[in-house]
Every structure is written in structure tokens, then in C-alpha cells.
Structure 1
């Protein structure tokens, strides 16, 4: 079931995006197991590689406040289809989200699709894939 309040929070925060280059505003809202919602918007930079996506902003804000257990994420943008997270965001999400966590993707046409983390990034690289450090 779609968490409409979380989707609304993602739509609202996207208005704060700093996107002078792409003009592509993205918002994200992350619900923690404690019930708190952390939001993020994309923040661009003239040096594109240091740009940070909305999803990672929300995740990093939550982690920096001591939250490590997450329940749901919503991502919103003015896209042709419900906005898919980029590969970098999917990898960060896979580090912190349970495989069964719901991720709601939406656009400004009220089209929403919900995926689990595992559906978004099957066979992801995980910590147990690295050799143990002696």
C-alpha cells in the first residue's frame, strides 16, 4: 500500500532542490522505524560528480542523526514515468535498507509504482561479498 503522506513529503521537499544545471527537481522522504521522516532534495554542483541525489541526502541525514532502521522511502520528480533512483542511490539504499523494504516512486502526474529494495537492485554488492579483513 502506498504511503500517501510520505509521497506528499517527497513532492514538497523537491521544491527545495538546487538544480541550476539540469532543472530536474527530485525529492525524497524516508520513514524510519522510530516513526521519524527525513527528507532530501537533489543538490547540484558545477562539478557534476559532487552532486548529491535526493535519496542519498535523506539517507545521510537520517544516519547522521543516529537512525539506522528504515521502513519506507518515497521519491518524487517531474518525470515521464515514476522516477527511478540512479545506480549510485540504489547501491547506497542496498547498504542500509532491508531487501523487503517498500520504495514508492512517483511523478507529478500522480503515477506511483512501489518496489521492494530487492526488486530495484537484485543481486546487489553487499558487505558479505568482501573478504574479511585479517
Structure 2
């Protein structure tokens, strides 16, 4: 299952077909799934290899004030939900973590100066 995260306000200006895959690293090495109480996968916990300055990162900076993202510097991860409708559950800690340690299913698309994050989940 593929999930594409566009920065708020950019959804109308970027499509997957317009974007080109770029070699910008998100700084992580694997991710675990975030699930709602009904078992549906609604996001990921993306584990980082080393500390990342999220405000200055070429991709994360576009998502810094996005409710779908919780940047956990101390925990060494980014919690991400794929849809705004699950952002409140994320903020309230009402999602469970399914430890799957999925490797290599993320990429970055670029269209002009905009970026999108793509997660391809195996589940």
C-alpha cells in the first residue's frame, strides 16, 4: 500500500506523476506501523539513525507545523499519520505501535521546490 504525504497547501500543485524521485535522505533506517483501535494502519513511527534538525531539513521543514507529524527529538523518531483525520489520535497517544521494522519503503519526490514523502507499506 502506497501513501504519499504532500505538504499542506501543496496538494494541488504536486502529483506523483509530476514528481521525480530524489536522493534526499529522511535520516532513518526503518519504521514501525501505527494502528488505530480497529487495527487499520494509519501511519508510521520512522526511526532515525542520528539526530536531525527538523526545522532546517530540506524535506521535514515543509512538514514542521503539520498536525500529521510529531517530531520526537529525544526519542529519535518521527511519528507520522497519513491522513489529517488521524492526527488527533496521534496527538492524544491513542494509536498503537506494531513493531515490524520495515526497511526501505520510503522515498522523497520533488516537484520544483516542493517535496512529498512516499511510504510503501508491505502489510
* Superposition TM-score, scaled by structure 1 size: 0.26
Larger relative contact order (CA 8 Å, sep ≥ 6): 2
- Quick check: which one's helix share is greater? 1
- Structure number with larger C-alpha Rg: 1
- Quick check: which one's strand share is greater? 2
* Superposition TM-score, scaled by structure 2 size: 0.28
